[in-house]
Amino acid sequence: MECVFAVINDFTAISQSTDPSNIITDTASSHGVPTDCVAKMKGHESFVFECSFSNDRRSLATASHDGSVRLWDVDSHQCIATLNDHTNAAMGCKFSPDDTLVASTSLDDTVRLWDVKSHRCIVTLNVC
């Protein structure tokens, strides 16, 4: 499992956990080392392999062993979409430079391209 740590506004970090939640911690008083849990973002039914912030830092995408990719609102910590077309574990996810698309990879041997606004898969590439 890949462990991701990213800083938002120099005060907040997000890390993946082995349970199905993403944990947001406050780093303001510890020189970048997470100390206090600010919020848990729950929704996945299994552990998260990767998380990726949008370039504007307003959204977060997570890829999970449960096969789903979820889009989250960073401010409210709420899931805004669950993308369920993968048939095996979703291993990775990244936003496009303009934040209009999310690419996801999976053990189902596909790469999927998702429209962020409609939450629909617009392209599926078979990699095997």
- Domain of residue 64, CATH code: 2.130.10.10
**What residue numbers bound the domain in which 101 lies?**
5-126
- pTM of this prediction exceeds 0.85: no
Structure tokens at 5: 């740590």
Contact call for residues 81 and 58 (beta carbons, < 8 A): no
Average pLDDT over residues 37-42: 63
How do residues 64-81 score in pLDDT, each as one tens digit? 888 889 998 888 888 899
Helix (H, G, I), strand (E, B) or coil at 54: coil
C-alpha–C-alpha distance, residues 77 and 67, integer Å: 21
pLDDT confidence of residue 38: 57
**Half-sphere CA count of 32, side-chain side, radius 13 A:** 4
Q: Report d(CA 95, CA 120) in Å as an integer.
A: 14
Give SS3 for 80.
strand
C-alpha 8 chain-centroid distance: 14
Copy the structure tokens of residue 120: 């629909």
The pLDDT value recorded for residue 113 is 97
Which whole number is the average pLDDT over 32-56?
71
Number of domains in the chain: 1
What pLDDT is attached to residue 2?
Answer: 34
Cβ–Cβ < 8 Å for 114, 100: no
What are the b/e assignments for 45-55, b being 16+ CB within 10 Å? Answer: eebbbbbbbbe
